[in-house]
Chains A and B, each alone.
Chain A
Amino acid sequence: MDEPRLPKHKEKIGYRGNSYAVETEYDVLLNRVSVRLFKNRRLVSSRSIRIRDGQIEKSTDREEIEKIKEKIAYYHREEYALLISFFELSQKLKLNGDGPAHHSLGLVFLGRELLEEAKEEFLLALVKTPTYSPVYNHLGIVYLKLGMIEESIKNFQTALKINPDFADYHHNLGTAFLEKKSYLEAEKEFQEALKLNPRYQEVYLNLGFSCLERGGIEGDTSTETILKEALDNFKKAYQLGFKKDLRMEELLQKAFTWEDLSRIYMLLKSLLTEGSSLEIKSLCDYFRLRFKYDPKVVEKKEVEDYLLQLSQEIVEGKNYPDLRHSLALAYIFYSRYILKLAEKQFQNFIQLSSEKKSGETNLEMSRELEKKIELYLEESHQEV
């Protein structure tokens, strides 16, 4: 039998002197669809989507293959449209965006690893709201990813000056120190983060890593104590949220050498990255912005897809309060389309029926409901 041929899609867009490209194809090894984003020919981010359980290449059903091809094309179109929409939003916000809106768009870019674009939005946000601590925190993350450690530390410290009670800020500052190889300062910040949030899994992991690095350098008599400290932290990180894994438990039981612990760290880190919610959170930020700045342009189908994706992520384990909050807003935004459909039917009914009064009462009622929803959305947008 001929092997099914699954197409590769590629599309480019130029924006402010840069060239961006979206590439989408089926990854045989991962049995997933890979959507990659390039900037000036360099890969900046990628995401992979599972579209069915069995191996597509082994499928014999032509109709099914066609459906999968359609899906691949759909994901490609969706990603490309998103990218264009990010740039359009950026233009729009330059005219009438407030600080939190620039911040949200910065997060959208950060979610796609478009770091320069994110930085620009965060800097614009600071011009408009100079005391909004999350912007400094995220700007710190951008600098850290760009390798500008000192700038990164400065921004995390500013965020902490404005709001010292955020575990995230301490954790991020600790990570920057870790990158600088200032292990003791890093561990001090991690401990601060744990005081504020004793169940902060990633902090335990990084704390363990810091011990591990320190142990690797010192290599003296204290190494054993340091490695034990690293192991304890890895155990805590494992207990705080990873699915039970017998192999991992065995590794944690038997770990003794620096190499064993490095292996454990790598495994736990990859599990944590796999469960990262950065991408979906960035999608939520994007839709919140569009609900506010583009409400008339957002299509029903787009919101349906967003609702589906968000619900799925929550069901599959990303049970975070902010994602649920975004889902709540999306439901309300989606309800506008349903009210419009109701209105249309009541109008049709009035045109054709002799019982006009019922239709008119219903139409009036649905218009009133729409007003209430618009008011609600307006109030919700204040938060963006």
Chain B
Amino acid sequence: MPTVEQTKIDKELKQEKEDLQLLLEKYKLSMISTLALYFNSAGKPEKGVDLLISALEKWPEEPELYEELVFFAIKSGKTAEAEKKLLEAQVLLPEAPFVYSSLGKLYFLKKEFISARELLGKSIQLNPGDGINLLFSTLSSLAVQREDKGINLSELPEIQQIEKDLQKLKELNPEVVTDDFLKGKELLAQNNYVEAFKYLEKSLNSYLNKKMDFTRFHQLFFSFYLEPEKFDLEDLKKYIQELEKKLSLSLSSEKELNYLGCCYILFFINLVKSSEEQLKKALVLDPEFEGAKEALRFLEKMKSEMLPLIDSLRF
């Protein structure tokens, strides 16, 4: 017989699962990551893990969900659940590079470097164009080899490959190139592998932290979808102006280019909403206004076709 305590926990778990299902039904794919980020910023990364695991049931082929699952799992310590999900996905999607890559990243962050290196290698084989994988893979290789103290690292062909990979990464993901990254690369060239690892790991961590950041941009989208009553159009306009200014001064990061595009889409949705509001007000003033009735009918039809499109927005 379950104890009272156990029954209480089971009840709470059931409730939480139902809440997650509700969230998944209510929000589209584009919002799931933002929701997970929100949970993380609110100090509940484990809720983010649960949400992402449930989301993967619904969208098993979404690479970003796997990657985010890894990062939230590490943050919350729920790595076993994430690993289980990823291993299931490996069976389900044996040719998907993102599954290998996510599993490899999880093992790396768990400091299981040999498994990490193997899986990341497999992922790179399937998709050589992912620069972040190269960094994880480089770090895994360095970690494995520095532990093997009997070998002269500089003579190994793998080190030459690592240097090539880092060069490639610079081209593929320039946003990762920080002072730490450059320092790490320099140390690598000096055969100082232990220090090189430290600096390269630092550059990776700063990239991951940025990725996990619940930015003003996320806040805007979050409030637009989840708390529409709190959505502040003026705030959106201000943010757009700031991004535009940065863009005109060539100070925008590539991510901000996408953010600006997404913000325009948000503004666009608001214009459509304003248009709808005006037509409704016109009809309150004159319920027989045929032109407004017709326009509202067209607009509602258009909106119903637009919403699924907007839900495919990627941050």
Instruction: Give me the interface of A with B, judged by CB distance under 8 Å.
Output: 319-322, 324-325, 327-329, 331-332, 334-335, 338-339, 341-346, 348-349, 352-355, 357-359, 361-362, 365-366, 368-369, 372-373, 375-376, 379-380, 383
Contacts and interface: CB of A to CB of B under 8 A. Distances in A.
A358 B280 CA distance: 36
Contacts of B271: 331-332, 334-335, 338
B137 to A, nearest CB: 15
B173 A358 contact: no
A328 B305 CA distance: 19
The B interface is mostly helix, strand or loop, or mixed, namely: helix
B160 to A, nearest CB: 24
Given A321-B289, A362-B313, A375 B257 contact: no
The A interface is mostly helix, strand or loop, or mixed, namely: helix
B261 A331 contact: no
Given A338-B267, A353-B254, A359-B261, 7 more contacts: A324-B292, A335-B275, A354-B129, A354-B172, A365-B309, A375-B302, A376-B298
A201 to B, nearest CB: 15
Interface of B: 129-131, 172-173, 254-255, 257-258, 260-262, 264-265, 267-268, 271-272, 274-276, 278-279, 281-283, 285-286, 289, 291-292, 294-295, 298-299, 302, 305-306, 309-310, 312-315
Given A321-B283, A325-B289, A379 B298 contact: yes
A342 B272 CA distance: 15
Contacts of A320: 285
A164 to B, nearest CB: 16
Contacts, number: 137
A361 B261 CA distance: 12
Contacts of B286: 321
Nearest to B63: A357
A342 B258 contact: no
A327 B264 CA distance: 20
Contacts of B276: 328
A335 B268 contact: yes
Contact of A362 (B267, B289, B314): B314
- Name the residue among B129, B260, B282 with the largest chain A CB count within 10 angstroms: B282
Contacts of B278: 324-325, 327-328, 331
B269 to A, nearest CB: 9
A372 B298 contact: no
A376 B300 CA distance: 10
Given A341-B264, A358-B314, A325 B295 contact: yes
Contacts of B265: 339, 342, 362, 365-366, 369
A34 B289 CA distance: 35
A325 B130 CA distance: 50
A365 B258 CA distance: 13
16 contacts: A327-B275, A328-B278, A332-B271, A332-B299, A339-B265, A345-B260, A346-B257, A349-B254, A352-B254, A359-B258, A362-B265, A362-B314, A366-B261, A369-B310, A380-B295, A383-B295
Contacts of B279: 324-325, 328
B89 to A, nearest CB: 19
A348 B281 CA distance: 39
A341 B257 CA distance: 11
A369 B306 contact: yes
A383 B298 CA distance: 13
B128 to A, nearest CB: 12
A345 B257 contact: yes
Contacts of B272: 331-332, 335
Nearest to B267: A338
A376 B302 contact: yes
Nearest to A378: B298
B257 A372 contact: no
Nearest to B271: A335
Nearest to B132: A354
Contacts of A328: 274-276, 278-279, 282, 292, 295, 299
